[in-house]
Structure formats: structure tokens, C-alpha cells
Amino acid sequence: MFGKDITNLKGAELRKTRQEIGMIFQHFNLLWSRNVRENISFPLEVAKVPKEERKKRVDDLIRLVGLEGKEESYPSQLSGGQKQRVGIARALANNPKVLLCDEATSALDPETTDSILDLLLDINQKFGLTIIIITHEMNVIRKICHRVAVMEEGRIVESGPVLEVFKHPKQPITKKFVRQVTEKEDARETIAQLLEKYPSGKIIRLSFVGDVAEQPVISKLIKNSNAVINILQGNITQTRFGAYGNLYLHLNGSEEDMKQAIRFLQEEQVEVEVIEHA
């Protein structure tokens, strides 16, 4: 990190380096004996920042995370989201070079998670601060991350830009994770049922990425094809770098018509997969 191997650092040097890394935690880890202001001030005290400067910095941070009016409250009087805001302010106090979030939203409800993510995104853009997020929630990654690395048994097994990894997951673990956001849980069952119900024709899955996802591809397909098209199920997932969607279609008609339809879709830059069994 910053060209240093921190696993070999010790004593004063390690402590100094740690001040350059802001960290927020799943369970906030605030000092309950200190109020909001004093909690945020804590890392500044550790870094021996003079009192006057400390006060100014704490005021700035409280404004940044939107906790005005709560300065004198104690953690026990705050909601989960507010506590995490204090955690974020505290982590940013010493102007870290990187912000490490350890399951920062895992203890929060979806709505609060969104507001915390917006705050992180805001900080990322305002200060150009690198944020490393450790999470098992794919929605978090989808919403604010640029790059993702998947870890299994303590090692990174796959990494790359978010859209790339979501679209083409390679490792089994990645596929399992990605399915959380791209496929509804009952999708597989539905497809299995449909395969049984319609022995004739084909069930195909279309994957759209980026701009294609927003094009009226299906409408064009219906106009251009003689095959009978039935939309079974679909979804679209928004990431930081464009949309990414799946659509399940049932095609029927002559062998020739179906082939022609698939060819048309491929020409439209849509990925097509014919599903034979769920």
C-alpha cells in the first residue's frame, strides 16, 4: 500500500501508516462514552492535532456527513444510519489516502444502505478518495463500485471492471454471487416448467450490455421475424457504467424462422443463449 508492504511494518511506523487508512466497520465501533463530536475528534486526538484545528475539522466533517444538530448526541441516541455517518466522519478525519469499509452496510436496512452508499459516492467524487468496500451484497457493488475482486478462501479468484465481471463471471463462486442481482430466485424453476410445457420451439436467453440494453431490440425482432415470440421474463440491472439485462423469450415457428430470429439478434449485438435445460 502506497508502495509499502504494511504487513512488515511495526510500532510507530505501523501506527503512522494506519492513520493514512480510514476504516469503517459493520458494527460502527463508536465509543459510547463520547458524543458525536468527541467520537469524530478521537482520531484527531490520536494524531495529536491541536485543539483549535480539531474543532474546525470536526465541524467540517459533521457538515459533510449531514449530522448537523446531532453534535452533542451520544451513539445510543442515534439510528444505525446516523451511527455509520459518524463512523465515516471519524474515518475521514485524518484525510486518509484510502477508505476501507468492512461490511459497512451489512447491518443496515436497504433504504439506509442506499443513503450511506450515496454519501460514499459523494465523498469518492468530491475528494477523489479511493474507497475499498468489503461486502457480500451485490447491490452495493452494482451501485457504486468501479472495479470488483472476488475472494474465496482468502485469495482473489477473479477481478476486473464491475460490468465485465457481472456479465461474464468465470469462477463458480462469482457466478453464484452475480446471480443474486441478475436473476430472480424463481427464474430457474420457471424455465424448467416452461421447457416442460412447450416442448416445441426454443427458449432463449438474451443478455444486453450497455447501450443495447436501452434499445428497442424486441420490437425490431418482432417486425423482422416470422417466428412467434413470447416474452417470459426479464430484468435489467443498473451499474455505475450502464445497464445490464437479461431477457427470456420463447420462440416458436419453423426451424428456419427461429434460426433467422437468433441470427437477427446476434447482428444487433445481443448475446443469445439457447436454453435446453434449466
Q: Minimal distance in Å, beta carbon 251 to other proteins?
A: 55
Q: Which stretch binds other proteins (CB under 8 A): 28-36, 154-162, 192-200, 244-252?
A: 28-36
The count of residues interacting with other proteins (CB under 8 A) is 26
Q: Minimal distance in Å, beta carbon 270 to other proteins?
A: 47
Residue tagged 483549535 (cell numbers) = 52
Q: Which stretch binds other proteins (CB under 8 A): 17-25, 60-68, 181-189, 261-269?
A: 17-25
Binding status of residue 175 toward other proteins by CB under 8 A: no
According to CB under 8 A, which one of 14, 151, 192, 236 is a site residue for other proteins?
14
Binding status of residue 21 toward other proteins by CB under 8 A: yes
Q: Minimal distance in Å, beta carbon 7 to other proteins?
A: 15
Q: What is the x/- site pattern for other proteins, positions 58-97, by CB under 8 A?
A: ----------------xxx-----------------x---
Q: Minimal distance in Å, beta carbon 46 to other proteins?
A: 5
Binding status of residue 106 toward other proteins by CB under 8 A: no
Q: How far apart are CA 141 and CA 148, in angstroms?
A: 7
Q: What is the x/- site pattern for other proteins, positions 37-56, by CB under 8 A?
A: -----xx-xxx---------
Q: Minimal distance in Å, beta carbon 178 to other proteins?
A: 30
Tell me phi and psi for residue 5, to 5 degrees: -90, 105
Provide the binding-site residues for other proteins, judged by CB under 8 A.
14-19, 21, 23, 25, 27, 29-35, 42-43, 45-47, 74-76, 94
